[in-house]
Structure 1
Amino acid sequence: MEDRAEYYSIAQAADILGVTKETLRRWDENGTMVAQRVESNNYRVYHKSQLEFFENTQHMFKNAWDAEFVTKPNRSYKLLELFAGAGGLAIGMERAGFESVLLNELDKHACNTLRKNRPDWNVVEGDISKISFTQYRDQIDILSGGFPCQSFSYAGKQLGFEDTRGTLFYEFARAVRETNPKVLLGENVRGLLNHDNGETLKTISNIIRDLGYTLVEPHVLKAMFYQVPQKRERLFLVGIRNDLADKVKFAWPSSYKRILTMRDALKKGELYPCDVPTSEGQTYPKRKAEILKMVPPGGYWRDLPDNIQREYMMKSYYLGGGKTGMARRLSWDEPSLTLTCAPAQKQTERCHPEETRPLTVREYARIQTFPDDWQFAGPVSAQYKQIGNAVPVNLAHAMGRALVRLLNQIEESKTEADPVQKPRQKSKNPSLFEEISA
């Protein structure tokens, strides 16, 4: 077989295309997309050329990741972040070149995590509704926040800013109104797209426009396309202030060159320079451990003997639906399923690929691409919760670079509009051209 890097297993192809492995097997049987067989083991694989015709994979095979990775800000851009959590978004934005001027978070353990790792960050702990942001008016380049998804009371009418009072989105919108940033960034669960039959997102979009921002079409980013070994999806909203919007064009980040797996997360390789460090973690009760020991890598409750299925699933055994998260063991050769706030919940099991135990805190952190030196505060349960709620760091970094490119466009448009420049100061690190000119 030619270059193995050009071939993808059934599991990898399913992840890339966003379909189930069962769907691929059905396509193989009916001739829709026939897999190729590896002579040595008869495994079924797909060549890159079979996948690149799908619209949702073209961005992966025709990407500009390496070119975008070297993005640098034209100047120091200021960031104000709400609902900051344990810092997943903040670390990614920091790596992209942003300077955080304020991070607000209610959870005390998450605030302690932020302070522990970045003593110089201005972490404001407490209820966002009690905080004024007016002192930062016209001082902020980007205001960001992952406001929780909440219902509004519609009463059959179009809602305005004041009508959403009492929700956390209202506080996000109030912070935008008080600070007047050039760009706003909102992130949320994918479910916001269809929440209340789409009315929630419609209201949010209308209010963003009423605040004086042009909203880029909301976009769901799959973390596994952005150097994250996890099948997590997040919805991103980008708004550009109206006086700047017609001068620039926002482009979503390009994807990474391949899909990373649990092996990339926990073993030494291109993602981390060493195997995952040891750390605290939860354990299974004796009988649960005995049952999960029977589950193969990548398997779940349907891979158990029928009598064990009935014992483990109890009444759920007779209900419809796949319930693929129950008794689920992860696989070394696939990305992790989306992490939850606890690794051993029966409905969303995340068992280690090889050992019969829940993932540890540091394993959780690696799947979210936190650096190994990022320490989490609070009891173990609080650490799991902080990590499970976070934006994956590498996804945030990719998004941050895209926002830096947007702000660079804004800066360059100002230069074009005002060609009279102040005399340029001599660089501390002059280029060869500057040295010759001097």
Structure 2
Amino acid sequence: MRPLTFVDVCSGAGGLALGLEQAGFEPRLLLDDDDLAVRTLRTNRPHWNVLHTDLLDFDPAEHPVSYDVDLLAAGLPRVKSSATVGRTDSRTEVRLLEAAVYLVHAIRPRAVLIENVPGLAHSDEYQQFRDFARAELSHLGYEFSWFVVNAVDFGVPQNRKQGVLVAVERHRAKAFRPPTPTVQEPKTVGAALGPSMASRGWQDAARWAAQADRPAPTLVGGSKNRGGADLGPTGAKRTWETMGVNAHTLGDEVPGPEFLWDPELGRENMVKITAEQAALLQAFPESWAITGLKTARYRQIGQATPPPVGEALGRAFAEALDGDSAVSAAG
């Protein structure tokens, strides 16, 4: 039986693609319009077929390898919020969502996965898109699921909710079940980052890890047009402060032996999370190299789908599609 295959658009740092690979899928084609993201993908997986192009400019007829795949995956940039409605970024996001749906017409995958902010699944703000997607795809023979997953339920040390659109060919749709949590207890920031915090001899690493006894707030990478190297909006920063972390900036390296950690003295005596540690909070493997300068690396990391979420979704699709792919290929 042939392996399950996928096309991944707006691939970013590769979190979704990596998770799908871990679930047993093989990528036929990945694409992204960001040169650093493309470099990240090619650095970590030289054998992957990575195309440097904008989804809005992508013509699958020029890349026939994208046809006859099991899954079209789109982890679109997470830039929309109540604060950005009306901005250029907001309209760009809608155009990308629509482009992903139109791409289904062209390549006719057996299943579709579109991932974005939680509101994608239930918010009135996205009702027009959900209606559009249903109108475009239902007559092609797909059935829909809309649901929200939280990365913390899959071993990621971060409360990160993601809205998911799943469309599966009608005769396979009943076999699809949304993924169920893989962990009973959430992983904490301290457990995830304790070893790296101690790696340069910082004596207070264990004491800090004991205080960082909860999952991280959602990491927000921002866009190229705005958003610097900080760990998110005001509420998230306050949560980080309860863990003794200065969330207003990123660190260049983890603390050394001389660092005095005393949050009562203010931000300068709180630890700073490095971009590499942010990748750990997204549950990227330590071996996964993110390219670019600090802010650009963090932007890629913050916008990524955590690989364990991609893997859980991939396994759910595999259960619906596997054992059936040989039949569909013959048909």
C-alpha deviation, 1:378, in angstroms: 0.9
**Larger displacement relative to structure 2 (253-262 or 178-187):** 253-262
102-111 or 199-208, which moves further after superposition?
Answer: 199-208
Q: Which residue of 1 aligns with 2:119?
A: 191
Find the counterpart in structure 1 of residue 190 from structure 2.
263
Aligned partner letter, 1:252 = P
Structure 1's 76 and 412: CA in aligned 2 closer, same or farther, altered over 3 A?
closer
In 2 relative to 1, CA 136–210 (structure 1 residues): closer, same or farther, beyond 3 Å?
farther
Q: 1:79-94 residue pairs with structure 2 within 5 A?
A: 79-94=6-21
Q: Does 1:171 align with 2:99?
A: yes
Aligned-pair CA distance for 1:131: 1.9
Find the residue that maps to 2:48 and give its secondary structure: coil
Counterparts of 2:168 and 2:47 in 1: how far apart (Å)?
A: 29
CA positional deviation for 1:83: 0.6
The offset of 1:258, in angstroms, is 2.0
**Structure 1 residue 332, shift from structure 2 partner:** 1.9
Could you tell me which of 131, 140, 144 is aligned with 1:202?
Answer: 131
What corresponds to 1:214 in structure 2? 143
CA distance in 1, matches of 2:126, 2:14: 31
Question: Aligned with 1:220: secondary structure?
Answer: strand
Query: Letter of the aligned partner of 1:143 in structure 2?
Result: L
Query: TM-score, normalising length from structure 2?
Result: 0.74
Contact 2:282 2:306 in 1 (8 A): yes
Asked if 2 retains the 8 angstrom alpha-carbon contact of 1:276 and 1:362, the reply is no
In structure 2, the CA distance between the partners of 1:102 and 1:411, relative to structure 1 (3 Å rule), is closer
| 1:197 positional shift | 6.7
Query: Of the two structures, which has the highest relative contact order with CA contacts closer than 8 Å and spacing of 6 or more?
Result: 2
Q: Partner amino acid for 1:101?
A: R
Q: Secondary structure at the match of 2:322?
A: helix
The answer to whether 1:370 aligns with 2:284 is yes
Could you tell me which amino acid in structure 2 is paired with residue 85 of structure 1? G
Aligned residues: 276
CA 1:262–1:225 in structure 2 vs 1: closer, same or farther (change >3 Å)?
same
Q: Which residue of 2 aligns with 1:388?
A: 302
Structure 2: tracts of 5 or more residues without a match = 81-91, 201-206, 222-228, 246-260, 262-269
* Alignment pair present for 1:139 and 2:68: yes
Q: Deviations over 1:6-60 (max 9, x none)?
A: xxxxxxxxxxxxxxxxxxxxxxxxxxxxxxxxxxxxxxxxxxxxxxxxxxxxxxx
1:343 to 208, 225, 230: 230
- Give CA deviations for 1:141-167 in whole Å, capped at 9, x if unaligned: 11110235899xxxxxxxxxxxx9x81
Following superposition of structure 1 onto structure 2, how do residues 31-42 of structure 1 map, counting pairs within 5 Å? none
Partners of 1:371 and 1:276 lie apart in 2 by 17
Equivalent residues of 2:219, 2:232 under 8 A apart = no
Percentage of pairs with the same residue: 30
Name the structure 2 match of 1:360.
274
Determine helix, strand or coil for the equivalent of 1:186: strand
Q: What do residues 352-404 of structure 1 show as CA deviations (whole Å, max 9, x unaligned)?
A: 64651331111100110000011111111000000000001111111111111
TM-score normalised over the length of structure 1: 0.57
SS in 1 for 2:6: strand
Contact 1:136 1:179 in 2 (8 A): no
Structure 1 residue 75: deviation in Å?
A: 3.6
Does residue 50 of structure 2 align to residue 123 of structure 1? yes
Cα distance in 2 for partners of 1:276, 1:211 equals 52
Kept in 2: contact 1:183–1:238 (CA 8 A) = yes
**Residues 220 and 231, structure 2, Cα contact 8 Å, conserved in 1:** no
User: Do the aligned partners of residues 414 and 267 (structure 1) sit closer, same or farther apart at CA in structure 2, a change above 3 Å counting?
Assistant: same
Per-residue deviation, residues 316-340 of structure 1 (Å, max 9, x unmatched): xxxxxxxxxxxxxx95211011111
CA root-mean-square deviation = 3.2
Gap change, CA 1:148 and 1:223, over 3 Å in 2? same
Residue 114 of structure 1 corresponds to: 41
> Residue 137 of structure 1 contacts residue 178 of structure 1 at CA under 8 Å; is this kept in 2?
no
State the shift of 1:202 in Å: 2.5
Q: Which residue of 1 aligns with 2:178?
A: 252
Displacement, 1:104? Answer: 0.7
